[in-house]
Amino acid sequence: MTNRYRALFDLTGKSALVMGAASGIGEATARMLAGLGAQVVCADLDGAGAKATAESIVAEGGTAQGLAADLGSHEQVTEAVQTTVRAYGGLDIGVTTPGINIRKRLSAYSEDEFDRIVGLNLKGTFFFLQDAAAVMAEQGGGSIIACSSMRGLMVEPGLGVYASTKAAILQMVRGLATEVGPRGVRVNTIAPGVIDTPLTRPLRDDVRTRDAYSAHTAFGRWGSADEVASAVAFLASDAASYVTGENLVVDAGWTVMDGRFDPGR
């Protein structure tokens, strides 16, 4: 009985592509999927970093390869998908994590800055969803996980454009889930909260910001990339076989808390 339940989370023999695998949530996800048995292609704009992640997986007994790929380039996204298919015979798990932000008020945004954020976060995710879903629909199954954010549900000053792309990703994933579900393909999002990654490191290094953000969570701390990768692994596995079009929030309660009340004070 125990083995049957454990098998639900076993990814042995599954093929996976992780965009953004050079660092942060993408790197942690690539390592975790490989640790659960998946054969992983690690892709990132930082090709050297992606290859380093793959090499570390291989050194630990896993199966992986790395390549340079820009999520903002449809041609390179297509090549990453096809590389996975050629290497491992298909694409069972597709994960995309890259995102960028320029923290400033909407009134201060230039058109070029707007295009940069939307071009990578939203349009790049669109490229990935389109290509991964096409392969999975043809083979009759698979799991796609895109990275949204708690900022897709709530926002603070300076994050209007970033938050808009993350909210749009939610709806795009939901739409795709309804379209490819009949072909056995599941499509979901994760919504990380305050996670310690290279993207958020400048905020975390500022003591006031770090402490303020920590205090807004139920646990009083920032999360780790591994804690988000665990959520991705669940959605990728057969344990989530009846889950599609959903957004799994990994934020230590940030989006459900409206301040704190301590009756002891």
Structure tokens at 177: 């889930």
The answer to the question of residue 264 being in a domain is: no
> CA-based angle 125:127:131, to the nearest 5?
120
Query: Is residue 162 flagged as an active site residue?
Result: yes
Q: How confident is the model at residue 259 (pLDDT cuts 50, 70, 90)?
A: low
- Tell me, what's the pLDDT at 260? 64
**pLDDT tens string 19-65:** 999 999 999 999 999 999 999 999 999 999 999 999 999 999 999 99
For residue 95, give the nearest of 7, 36, 159, 153 by alpha carbon.
Answer: 36
The answer to the question of residue 15 being in a domain is: yes
Q: How many CA atoms lie within 13 A of 155 on its CB side?
A: 16
The answer to the question of residue 178 being in a domain is: yes
- Tell me, what's the pLDDT at 203? 77
The answer to the question of residue 247 being in a domain is: yes
- Tell me, what's the pLDDT at 264? 63
The answer to the question of residue 169 being in a domain is: yes
The DSSP code sequence of 42-83 is EEESSHHHHHHHHHHHHHTT-EEEEEE--TT-HHHHHHHHHH
The answer to the question of residue 171 being in a domain is: yes
Number of domains in the chain: 1
Please state, in angstroms and as integers, the Cα–Cα distance from residue 118 to each residue in 47, 69, 80, 124, 161, following that order: 22, 18, 21, 8, 8
For the cut 60, the answer to whether the pLDDT of residue 1 exceeds it is: no
The answer to the question of residue 103 being in a domain is: yes
Q: How confident is the model at residue 202 (pLDDT cuts 50, 70, 90)?
A: confident
Residue 203 sits at φ, ψ, to 5 deg, of -70, -45
**pLDDT tens string 133-168:** 999 999 999 999 999 999 989 998 999 999 999 999
Domain extent for 85 = 2-252
The answer to the question of residue 260 being in a domain is: no
Prediction pTM value: 0.94
For the cut 80, the answer to whether the pLDDT of residue 252 exceeds it is: yes
Average pLDDT rounded to a whole number, residues 217-235: 95
Catalytic, out of 5, 88, 109, 162:
162
Q: How confident is the model at residue 207 (pLDDT cuts 50, 70, 90)?
A: confident
Domain of 108, CATH number, reads 3.40.50.720
- Tell me, what's the pLDDT at 216? 85
